[in-house]
Chains A and B, each alone.
Chain A
Amino acid sequence: MASALRAAILGHVRVPVVVANGSKLLAPLWTHRTTAVRSMSSHDDHLEKNQVIDRILDIVKSFPKVDPSKVTPEVHFQKDLGLDSLDNVEIIMAIEEEFKLEIPDKEADKIDSCALAIEYVYNHPMAS
């Protein structure tokens, strides 16, 4: 009786496990873990995007040589605001101070517009 039931069930229920190699079996589990909310992690108080935008725009607007009415989230520091490369570095340093970051030189050189700065800070895990 029991063996007949077992055979009937096993005939219908198939477990679709394909073991091509060992790591594939673990992979879905692992990606699930990393995307899940890590409630006790110190990195979890991540900044909201519009919060980042507001704070960066405030920094740029408070820069003495900048006309505040020209500042938008897409503005390019040198082409649109008429700043030079030293002013550019100065703004990056102000952003570092505001968000308590240290941006490596190579990446700091690439940031030349508000949009890039916002993207960098928003994607930085330690920004606060």
Chain B
Amino acid sequence: MAFALRVKVPPNSATLEEARHRTFDFFRAACRSIPSIMDIYNLYDVVNPSQLRSTIAAEIRKNAHITNPKVIDMLLFKGMEELSNITEHAKQRHHIIGQYVVGNQGLVQDVATKDENLSSFLKNFYKTNYF
């Protein structure tokens, strides 16, 4: 309940330009919290800040084709929720590593010849939990 009361939703973006601007603001806010995230989850031996920055940019770029300001606002809200969860230490180290450090490359990369005959189901299973 305390969490629900604290959430404040900003008014919708009027134009695409405003939504675009908010996206950049969110990206900056996320980038500025990288040092504290590295601290909280002790990520120094697995990743460096510029890799995390690129990951955040890649997550944003996944939705680059969206032109409806309301949808962008919704995605930004989800992004801010995720960011505040991360900075409040609501996650554990392996969540961060699985989602943002190992990311979409997956833990097992199919480079060896024995992997060629693997079913796509199994490949996707190995690939990631996070979509």
Chain A contacts to B: CB under 8 angstroms: 62, 64, 85-87, 89-90, 93-94, 96-97, 102, 105, 108
Contacts and interface: CB of A to CB of B under 8 A. Distances in A.
B31 A93 contact: yes
Interface of B: 24-25, 27-28, 31-32, 34-35, 49-50, 53-54, 57, 60-61, 64
Contacts of A86: 24, 27, 57, 60-61, 64
B67 to A, nearest CB: 15
Given A90-B31, A93-B28, A105-B28, 16 more contacts: A62-B50, A85-B24, A86-B27, A86-B57, A86-B64, A89-B27, A90-B27, A90-B53, A90-B54, A93-B31, A93-B32, A93-B53, A96-B32, A97-B49, A102-B32, A105-B25
Contacts of B60: 86
Contacts of B34: 97
24 contacts: A62-B50, A64-B54, A86-B27, A86-B57, A86-B64, A87-B57, A89-B24, A89-B27, A90-B27, A90-B31, A90-B57, A93-B27, A93-B28, A93-B31, A94-B50, A94-B53, A96-B31, A96-B32, A97-B34, A97-B35, A97-B49, A102-B32, A105-B24, A108-B28
Contacts, number: 36
Contacts of A96: 31-32
A91 to B, nearest CB: 10
B112 to A, nearest CB: 26
A108 B54 CA distance: 18
Contacts of A102: 32
